[in-house]
Amino acid sequence: MNDFPAFMKCAANRIVASSQATRGVEGYVFDGADGSQMAFWTCHETAVSTPHVHEYDEYMVVVEGCYTLIIDGTRIAVETGKEYFIPAGISHAGEVVAGTRTSHPQNSRAGHSQTARCTTDGPELALALELLALAFCRSRS
């Protein structure tokens, strides 16, 4: 697959460009009943993500391509099949390569935090998250 399935790209869930920290991305968000969110991003051009902070934990998985996180000056390449956890309150920026697709399940409820970590569980993790997203979206329709 080179793109997220059409059913995941509902116009009502599209994130407006002015709300995004990275130019040239197409993003969609789905809200869970418990305040959690699932966001999906497709980066159409190589770009830089401006430094930003969330009041909630963010978990990201690179489905395809590479997203380089920048945290406290440290560059962390998160490539296809890899994941990264960013605790609430941590300033982060990044660089993304054109064609990169990411998935961001996140806890939008403030106050929950863990230690940042990166794992490399491979393509099986990315596939599992895509299937999770599919089930999540179908349950909301």
DSSP designation for 109: S
Domain containing residue 111: CATH number: 2.60.120.10
Structural domain containing residue 27:
10-140
**Does some domain include residue 98?**
yes
**Does some domain include residue 122?**
yes
**Does some domain include residue 25?**
yes
Q: Please name which of 50, 54, 24, 10 lies closest in space to residue 36, comparing C-alpha atoms.
A: 54
**Does some domain include residue 2?**
no
**Does some domain include residue 80?**
yes
**Does some domain include residue 124?**
yes
- Total structural domains in the chain? 1
The tens place of each residue's pLDDT in the chain, 141 residues long, gives 788 888 888 888 888 877 766 778 888 888 888 878 888 889 999 999 889 998 888 899 999 999 999 999 999 999 999 999 999 899 999 999 999 999 988 776 544 433 333 344 444 444 445 544 444 444 444
Specify whether the CB–CB gap between 126 and 81 falls below 8 A.
yes
